[in-house]
Chains A and B, each alone.
Chain A
Amino acid sequence: MSAEAPRVDDHHLAHTDEAAMFERLSRSNLVTTWKWYLGVAVSGAVLLWGLIVFLYMAMVGMGVTGYNRPVFWGLYEASLVFWIGLSHSGTLISAILRLTHATWRAPVLRGAEAMTAFTLMVGGLIPIIHLGRNWRVYYALPYPSSRELWPNMRSPLMWDAMAITTYLIGSLTFLYVGMIPDLALLRDKSAGWRRKFYSALSLGFRGTHAQWRRYHVTSTLFAILIIPVAVSVHSIVSWDFAMAKVPGWHSTIFAPYFVVGAIFSGIAGVVIVMAILRKAFRLESVLTPLHFDNLGKLLCTMTLLWGYFYFTEFLTVWYNRNPEEWEVFSSYAGPYLPLFLTMIVCNFIIPFPMLCLKRVRRSVSLILVPACSIVTGMYAERLLIVIPSLARRNDPFIWANYFPTWVEFSVMAGAAAMFVLLYMLFAKFFPIMAISDIKERLFHTTDRTIGGTTVESIAQVEGEGEAHA
């Protein structure tokens, strides 16, 4: 390597050593460390344990959990909302930032989209896990049966099933379509079984002008289409609760409130995943403090939005003192005080002042503090939405509290391990960095010297987002 060759701080494609850049960005595919094997082994073991405990629960009965008469839903359902919430990251990063020409998104996009797909896979399993008779789940499928029974489309659970399936298929397609040029690149650079694997997946993409144009049209279209799907999915998840005749659940604010919460936890999740990817695959040159700064700003906005939604939800109940709802909210000061404090502190009190500081946003290790605290706080928030409302139902005689047993904890740990495992496998076999998008961005970039400093300048991408033939 000569002293002149690839200069990381030079922002134009013509000045970049493409081969070196490819190696730098594809480190996750090219080098396998013992840490990766260890990670796979650990997450695989936890997943296996979760699976065994799940089978035990299915064989013995739901009685092994902490559920009881008024609290028929608990940790499982809260985790469902949490995981589906995390999935909103990829959509936001990729689709909204694509449409708004936020060019900094390129290195973040693939990792975020993959997160969407895998959190949805985990979240989508929970409605099946939580059933009393999991082996009869196909009753909820619209198949022609001899009894001529169709699923009940009036049930929010059916809307939920359809919304999650649509979102999963949509986000997988979105992820895959966006990956085609990178898969073609990997095909050209690999040999053996990998070459065959990538050849099949890249669908004969050769990088002709026509192919690029179709690719751009398709990915823009997908970006437009996936946004309403994402918004509807979390609205519908919220309607599982808001449609019910349960004080504390039955609220018109739930749909937008859930969507905001979802994007909030989603971005925090992306920050954590990006920091891990950056460290694990030595992507410091691509995932720069600028990206964390921008994600931090988004996160700061979402903290405020979330705080506002929570405040308005509380205010109406507090002012109205409708006894049924007030009993639910009073229990936040009783047995659910730890959850409530965790939520308020982790979702607002810690992250808001921290994210206001540029020093925190620009430091990869410091921004992990608000990001981790938000993910924790949002989990607490989901639990706080599901449990107290049921524990303080309309009839005070039947009130009871809920605490999960080792069974729920094990199964949900297995679910989390499943996400980690899927993500690690994905990072190993698929391009975790959007190489083509990063190249495209470099192609449009020049360095301009203004006075004493050199800044990177990005030309408006020709015709992007406009209707041109």
Chain B
Amino acid sequence: MKHTWAMAIDLDRCTGCGACVVACSAENNVPTVGEVEAGKSRLMQWIRVNRYWEGEFPEAQAIYLPIPCMQCERAPCELVCPVYATYHNEDGLNAMVYNRCIGTRYCANNCPYSVRAFNWYDYKWEKPLDEQLSPDLTVRSRGVMEKCTFCIQRIRRAKETAAEEGREIRDGEVVPACVQTCPPGAMLFGDLADPHSEITRKLKDPRRFRLMEHLGTEPRVVYLKRQKGAGR
């Protein structure tokens, strides 16, 4: 069965806590670069929580916008890679082949969401942190690009389990690390190809919008607008 994986992020529920960032880094062997490198704007995080301010000081309100890879249907990054290191896989996800990447960084330039992270160095995990590295995916070497994969290792595992048991993947069986962790439950992951899945129902919400829709990238991450009203 073909899948159309998608993510919904309810901005009305997001508190900007950043748990998704931590969960993602732990799950995907994303290095922490330290204060100095972070100051140089070289964070490796695959998902970031943008914070914008609305209004002037006493009434200022923070708006949070978690940004993972949008897994665009018409992905600008894939087009410009000279060696097919990033490509569209059978599930419609933007996959990244680390071993193929030569590091032109063109994909990252062409990503309007700036979600791609480049390995500026060979990052090291100090002992005993190296023990926590996930064996399900590689540690990337210097000079290659990386980005959110919708936790492709979890999708693969769910597919294998389902195949072993001779059934389809159940709704809610695949949960990326960020979605699993989100304390206010602002994130939801699922298969849009399944007409009865929770995400299919959720995305009928009139609050839905996609980031920078005018660019025609057709993102697979859909946001639900913040609601205004009493009590806020």
Contact = CB atoms under 8 A, between A and B. Distances in A.
A62 B110 CA distance: 19
Contacts of A243: 80
A149 B65 CA distance: 38
B117 interface: yes
A249 B159 CA distance: 42
Interface string B62-82: 000101000000001001111
Interface string B113-143: 1100111111000000000000000000111
Interface in A384-417: 390, 393-398, 400
Contacts of A130: 104
B109 A398 contact: no
Contact of B103 (A60, A131, A161): A131
A70 interface: yes
Interface in B35-89: 37, 40-43, 48, 50-52, 65, 67, 76, 79-84
Interface stretch (A134-142, A189-197, A252-260, A458-466): A134-142
B144 A69 contact: no
Contacts of B50: 395, 397-398
B114 A156 contact: no
B143 A152 contact: no
Interface string A116-131: 0000000000010011
Contacts of A149: 83-84, 100
B218 to A, nearest CB: 13
Most buried by B among A63, A243, A244: A63
A234 to B, nearest CB: 18
Contact of B109 (A60, A152, A390, A397): A390
Given A61-B142, A62-B142, A157 B104 contact: yes
A interface residue count range (under 10 / 10 to 19 / 20 to 34 / 35 or more): 35 or more
B114 A395 contact: yes
A154 interface: yes
A397 B41 CA distance: 11
B61 to A, nearest CB: 16
A63 B120 contact: yes
Given A140-B102, A155-B80, A61 B121 contact: yes
Interface residues of B, number: 45
B212 interface: yes
A246 interface: yes
Contacts of B109: 72-73, 244, 246, 390
A133 B103 contact: yes
Contacts of B81: 152, 155
Contact of B84 (A152, A240, A390): A152
Contacts of B37: 63
Given A72-B108, A155-B80, A398-B114, A63 B41 contact: no
Interface in A185-212: none
Contacts, number: 137
A151 B80 CA distance: 11
B105 A395 contact: no
B41 A69 contact: yes
B106 interface: yes
Contacts of B65: 397
A133 B82 contact: no
A151 B43 CA distance: 30
A390 B106 CA distance: 11
Contacts of B1: none
A131 B101 CA distance: 10
A446 to B, nearest CB: 57
Nearest to A391: B41
Contacts of B106: 155-157, 240, 244
A139 to B, nearest CB: 4
Contacts of B141: 133
Given A139-B83, A244-B80, A395 B67 contact: yes
Given A61-B119, A244-B109, A245-B112, 5 more contacts: A133-B102, A136-B103, A151-B82, A397-B65, A398-B41
11 contacts: A60-B142, A62-B118, A132-B118, A132-B144, A140-B82, A157-B80, A243-B80, A244-B106, A390-B109, A395-B50, A397-B51
